[in-house]
Chains A and B, each alone.
Chain A
Amino acid sequence: MKFREIVESPCGIRYLFDELDLQSGYARKVLLDREMMCDADAIDASYASLRKYYQLVLSDRRRVEDMRFRLQGLRDISGTLASLAEGAVLDEIEFFEIKHLAMLADALSMDPDMGSVIDILDPDGLRIGTFYLYDSYSIELRRLREAVEDAPENAALQEQLANEEERLKKLISDKLRPYAAVLARTLHALAELDISLAMAVQMHVEGLVIPSSGTLTEIQGMFHPGVRAALRAKGRDFHPVDFAFRCGEPATVIGANMGGKTVALKTLCMLQYLYQFGFALPVASALMCPFDLIWFCIGDEQDERSGLSSFSAEMLRIDRAVASVGQGKRVLLLIDEPARTTNPVEGTALVAALLQRLADQPDLALVMTTHYTVAHTGRCWRVMGLVPGSRGREMDYRLVPTTSHEVPREALKIARELGIDAQWIDLADTIMKRQYE
C-alpha cells in the first residue's frame, strides 16, 4: 500500500503530511509513492537514518538549512534519465537538467561519480550551473560558429553547424549514458534526503519520538498533532494517553461520551501508519509492531455520498476487514463503535458476536470502542471520564485497564454535572432502577 492511498484516511495523518516542509515537488511525489513497510528491520533501518538527520538538526541547524535551501533546486528529471538509458540523443535542455542535478548532488556529497558527470558537461571547468554547447567541445564547432556569424545568410554553413552540433550532442549523450543508472539513483536519493531532513525538522518542531520495534504495542503519552493544534488554537491542550495491545488479545475501549475514545482510536491508527511509513511518532515513548494489513473502520461522510445507510456502509466495511483475518497475514483492526446506529439489543448482540467471531486469532490485533456491555476474553480499557465536581467542564481522558466489562453508566452523571433539567434526569434514574433491579 502506498502513502498516497492513506493520506486522506479519517485518522487524520494528513495533518503531519501537510506540516512536513518538503523543499521540492519531486520529494512530495516520491513520498506519496512510498510503499508501506511491513518488516520491522526495514522500519528500524529507516529510523536509524532519520535519527542521524535528527542529530544533525540538533547539532548543526545551519548546515541543515543550507542543505534544504539547495534541495529547492531538485527537479524530477526521471524522464530525461530514462531516455538517456534507452539510447536517446539528448538536447541542451536535457544536458542542463543533468548538469544541474549532478552539481546539486556534488554540493551535497551524494555520489563520487557526480564529478565525472560534471566534467563531461563543463569542458571549460567553470563549475557554474549554466549550460550550452560550449565552443571548446570541438575546434570545428568554434570555426563554424565564427563562420556563420560572419555570413549569417549562408545556408550551407548553417547546415554544417547544425550537423556538428548534432554530432556533439550524440557524443556527449554517449559519454553520459554509462552514468544513467547512478544518476537515477542519485535523483531518488536526493528526494529521500529532502524527505528525511523534513521529517527530522518536524520531529524537532512537533516533539516527535522514534519508537522501537517489538512483538506487541505499548504506547506512553500519545497525542494527535492535528487535534492538539485545534485545541491549542482554543487555548486548551491535548491530554496524552497511554495504551497497549497485542495480537491474539482483543481490546475494547469503553467510557463516557466526550471521553476521547474516537480520538484515541484515530491516534492509534495514525501512529501505526506513521510507524510503517518511517515517520517519528507523537508519543512520549512507544514500542511498536508492524502489521501487513491495517483496517480503520469508522463512519464518515463518504457513506452518505455513496448512498448507503450508515449502518450498511459500516457492516460492509467491517465485513471486508473480517474476511482478511486468518489468511496468514498480520492484521490490525481498529473499529469505532460498531453497530452504534442500530438498536441497543441487536447492537449488543452484533458486537458480542463479532468479538467471539474474531477470538483466538493469533495474527489479529483488534481494538474496538463501544458503548455496549459485552464480555470477552481480551482486555478492557475505560476512559477515566468526568472529573467529579467539575460541573461537566473537565474530563480525564486517560485510558485505564479495567476488569469489569460493564460499561460505566455515566450519561446521567454527566447530565447532572452539566446541570440538565433535574426533573428529567431524576425520572431517568427511576426508570433505570426499575429496569435493572
Chain B
Amino acid sequence: MPFVGEILKYRSVSIVGLAKNAGKTECLNYIIKRLPLDYFNVAVTSIGIDGETTDQVTGTAKPEITVREGMFFATSEKHFRQKHPLSELYAVSDEDTALGRVVTAKALQAGKVLLSGPSSATALKRWMGSLKDFGIDLILIDGALSRLSAASPAVSEAMVLSTGAALSANIKDLVAKTAFVVELIGLPLYLGPEPEVRVSSFSALDEATWKGKRAVEVEGALTDRLLQKLKAALSEGELDVVVGDFTKVFCSQELYRAFVRRGGRLSVRMKSELLAVCVNPVAPNGIVLDSDILCRELSQRIGLPVYDIVKNEYEI
C-alpha cells in the first residue's frame, strides 16, 4: 500500500491536482479506502466546490467521494441535501458559501457524497479548528481545481500531488510542468539573516529600494512582473528572495530559470511535505499516455515515487 502509511503521520493532508481530471478524486478515494479507520478518526472536506457528478467543464464522468462508516465529512447544505449516506449531523457553520452553509456530519454507513467545503483557506482553517471537539486524528482536504491554497503549509501539514494527461498530452511537457511544481514545493527554508526589504506586487517597484540589498522578503504573491524587476537588480550580485510558501509563487518556469541562472535564490518561510505524486494517463479528450513510461520518466526527474493508482490497483 504505497504512501498511505506516510499520510497517517500527519494531522492534515491535502490532495491537489495540477489540472482538472488529473485524477485527484481517484487519488482521494484510493486513500480513503485504505485508511485504518479502526484506529483513526478521519474527516474529509474540500476547499470550494468540487465533487460534481459530471465535470462541469468537459462533461466527463467524475466519481464522487466515497466515505466509509465512521468518517466525518463536511460539505455544503446543497450537496448534503442532494446525496449522503445515513449520517449523524454534528455541526452547521455560521458562514455562508455559494452553496449554503457548511454541514459537518459523521457517516453511519458507507456511501457517496458530493464534497464542497469552506470556500477560502481562512474559512477552512476555522473549520479545522472547530473539529477539535470531535476527536479527529486526520483531516483530508480535497483541493479543488487550481486551488493550490489548500496545500499551503499554513493550512495542511502535508500534501499529495496528482497530475496527468489532462495537464498535457505530451509526456515530455507533462513531466517538465509537473517537475517544476515539485521543485517549487521543495524550495528550501530561508535561514539567512532577516531581509532588510519587504516588497509586494502592489508596492512601487523602485529599484533603489533593494539596490545593494542581499535579501528581499516578498509579501503575498511572487508574480512574473515582480520577479522580472528582482532579476534586473541581480547585476549587483547575489540575491535571496523569500516568499511565504510555494503556493505564493505564480511566476513562469522560464523566468524562474533565468533568475536562478543569474545567481538568484528563492526560498520559503514555511515548507510543505510532499508525500507522493499520482498520475492519471487518461485525458478527458480520450488521449491515453503510456502509464509505465510516464511513471518512470517523472519519477526519475523528481526523485520521488510516482503512482498510477487506477491502473495498478495497489492492494493492502
Q: Indicate whether B132 reaches chain A with its CB closer than 8 angstroms.
A: no
A93, A133, A149 pick with most chain B CB within 10 angstroms = A93
Shortest Cβ distance from A26 into B: residue:
B94
B92 contacts chain A at the CB level, 8 A cutoff: yes
- Taking a contact as CB atoms under 8 Å apart, the answer to whether A149 and B109 are in contact is yes
CB of A78, distance to nearest CB on chain B (Å) = 14
Interface residues of B: mostly helix, strand, loop or mixed? strand
Q: Specify which chain A residues have a CB less than 8 angstroms from the CB of B90 in the assembled complex.
A: 129-130
B80 at the interface (CB under 8 A from A): yes
Residue interface bits B68-99, CB-to-A below 8 A is 1, else 0: 00000000010011000011111010100000
A93-B88 contact in complex given A25-B94, A132-B108, C-beta closer than 8 Å = no
Q: Are A131 and B92 in contact (CB under 8 A)?
A: no
B81 near A93 (CB under 8 angstroms)? Answer: yes
Contact at A75–B89, with CB atoms within 8 Å? no
Looking across the interface, which residue of chain B has its beta carbon closest to that of A161? B86
In the complex, B103 has a CB within 8 A of chain A = yes
| A363 on interface, CB distance cutoff 8 Å | no
* Contact A96–B81 (Cβ < 8 Å): no
By size class, the interface of chain A is 10 to 19
- Which residues 1-49 of A sit at the B interface, judged by CB distance below 8 A? 24-25
Contact B81 A131 (CB under 8 A): no
For B108, what are the chain A residues with a Cβ–Cβ distance below 8 Å? 132
Contact with B along A81-98 (1 / 0, CB 8 A): 000000000011100110
What separation, in Å, do the CA atoms of A129 and B134 have in the docked complex?
12
Contact A93 B89 (CB under 8 A): yes
A131-B89, A132-B88, A149-B109 known; A93-B94 Cβ under 8 A: no
Q: Which residues of A contact B81 (CB under 8 A)?
A: 91, 93
Q: For B81, B86, B87, which residue has the most chain A Cβ atoms within 10 angstroms?
A: B86
Give the distance in Å from the alpha carbon of A129 to the alpha carbon of B133 in the complex: 12
Chain B residues with CB below 8 A from A100, complex form: 92
Within 8 A of A (CB), among B83-125: 86-90, 92, 94, 103, 106, 108-109
CB contacts under 8 Å to B, within A81-124, are 91-93, 96-97, 100
- B106: chain A residues at CB < 8 Å are 130
B272 CB to nearest chain A CB (Å) = 32
Q: Contacts of A170 on B, CB cut-off 8 Å?
A: none
Say whether B89 contacts A130, CB under 8 Å. yes
Residue in B86, B92, B94, B109 whose beta carbon sits within 8 Å of that of A96 in the complex: B92
Given contacts A25-B94, A75-B94, whether A131 and B80 have CB atoms under 8 Å apart is no
Question: Is A376 at the interface (CB under 8 A from chain B)?
Answer: no
Please, which residues of chain A bring their CB within 8 A of the CB of B109? 149
Q: Cβ of B77: which chain A residues have Cβ within 8 Å of it?
A: 93
The smallest C-beta distance from A397 to any residue of chain B, in angstroms, reads 42
Interface mask (A134-171 → B, CB under 8 Å = 1, otherwise 0): 00000000000100010000000000000000000000
User: Are the CB atoms of B103 and A93 closer together than 8 Å?
Assistant: yes
CA distance A129 to B92 in the complex (A): 11
* Known A93-B77, A93-B80: A132·B92 in contact at CB below 8 Å: no
Q: How far is the CA of A93 from the CA of B81 in the complex (A)?
A: 8
With contacts A93-B81, A96-B92 known, is A132 near B103, CB below 8 A? Answer: no
**A-B pairs with beta carbons under 8 Å apart, 29 shown:** A24-B94, A25-B94, A75-B92, A75-B94, A91-B81, A93-B77, A93-B80, A93-B81, A93-B89, A93-B92, A93-B103, A96-B89, A96-B92, A97-B92, A100-B92, A130-B88, A130-B89, A130-B90, A130-B106, A131-B88, A131-B89, A132-B86, A132-B87, A132-B88, A132-B89, A132-B108, A133-B86, A145-B86, A149-B109
Q: What residues of chain A have their CB less than 8 Å away from a CB belonging to chain B?
A: 24-25, 75, 91-93, 96-97, 100, 129-133, 145, 149
Other than the given A93-B80, A93-B103, A130-B106, 17 more pairs (CB < 8 A) read A91-B81, A92-B89, A93-B77, A93-B81, A93-B89, A96-B89, A96-B92, A97-B92, A129-B90, A130-B88, A130-B89, A130-B90, A131-B89, A132-B86, A132-B87, A132-B88, A132-B108
The 6 A-B residue pairs whose C-beta atoms are closest, nearest first, are A96-B89, A132-B88, A130-B88, A131-B89, A130-B90, A25-B94
